[in-house]
Amino acid sequence: MEVLEEELIKNSHLELEDLR
């Protein structure tokens, strides 16, 4: 489950960078 959380965080970061 911890891995999923990490993946979600990475995805969120990628999305934020995409928005930039």
d(C-alpha 4, C-alpha 18), whole Å: 21
| Cα 3 versus chain centre, distance | 11
pLDDT, tens digit, 9 for 90 and up, residues 1-20? 689 999 999 999 888 888 77
The per-residue pLDDT for 1 is 67
